[in-house]
Structure formats: structure tokens, C-alpha cells
Amino acid sequence: MENIFDDSYFMKKALQEAEIAFEKGEIPVGAVIVVDNRIIARAHNLTETLNDVTAHAEMQAITAAANFLGGKYLKNCTLYVTLEPCQMCAGALYWSQISKVIYGATDTQRGCGVMGTQMHPKTEIKGGVLHEEAASLMKRFFIEKRNLN
């Protein structure tokens, strides 16, 4: 029997969060944090809602996961996020000591890769999971944003 709990399964859950952000007029980035095939945190961008530049999906998810676990380190956890983390989020992920980061679309302008930001040396990083779906949602958001202005 096939394991339904693979990277695409959890990335679809992150995409659901990104859709919620989209509907709220937020840049559509969603995230979930998983431990032992169980989602312990769900989040999406809230920068507009909270009027807070640090309210990225990853930051919200890190806080929720740490609260769930009762500690600040996210060892044995995996973050699924629809867009490659930015420099700020990569720094927070570094300090959280998260075991794995899996992202959908690459951010060629502000992503941690292009910015040269390092994650924790023990953190495994994988990009491109459901890339098309994540990139398509982002493109749709900015096309609609431009057409409203």
C-alpha cells in the first residue's frame, strides 16, 4: 500500500494555507510543520492583516510548532512551505534547528538561496515540490493585484 504521507501530500496542505492567504489579500504563501507524519502547525502570510513585516507564513508556523512542542527547537520536524524562505525566515529556521525544509516555488529575487543565507548545517533542504502549483498561485495573485490598481 502506498504511503499517502509523502512530500506532495504535505505540500498540498501548505498550498491550502496559501489559498487562505490569497483570499485575504495576503501574498499567497502557506506553511505546515510536520513531525511523525502529523501536522503540528499550519500558517499563512499575515503581514497585511497584522500590519507586521515579520508575519510571514514560516514565522507563524515556527511559533505555532514551538508552542505545540513546548520548546523552541524543531528537531525531527519538517517545514513544508509554498515559496522558498526569505533571508529573515531562513535565519529563524536556522535558530529553530529544524531538521528539514521543503519548499515549492523558488524565489529568484528574495529567496535565501539567491541572498546567500545559510540554514543550520544539519537542516536538509529540498525545493521544487509542487513547484508549478505554488508558482501559478503566486503569479495569479500578482496579476490580479496589478489589474486592481
10 Å Cβ neighbour count for 21? 25
Whether the Cβ atoms of residue 47 and residue 55 lie closer than 8 Å to each other = yes
Q: C-alpha distances in angstroms, 59 versus 6, 28, 50, 102?
A: 23, 14, 13, 15
In the annotation, is 58 catalytic?
A: yes
pLDDT digits (tens, 9 = 90+) for 131-149: 999 999 999 999 888 876 6
- State yes or no: 56 annotated in a binding site: yes
| Residues 25-42, mean pLDDT to the nearest whole number | 97
78-83 and 100-105 beta bridge pairing = parallel
Global pTM value: 0.94
Whether 77 has a binding-site annotation, put simply, is no
- Check residues 115 and 129 and name the one with the higher pLDDT: 129
The structural domains of the chain, ordered by start, are 7-144 (3.40.140.10)
Choice among 19, 58, 124, 133 that is catalytic = 58
Residue 138's nearest CA partner among 100, 102, 93, 108 is 108
For residue range 87-97, what is the model confidence (pLDDT) as tens digits? 999 999 999 99
H/E segment holding residue 59: helix 57-69
| Mean pLDDT, range 32-61, rounded to an integer | 97
Average pLDDT, the chain: 93
112 is in an annotated binding site: no
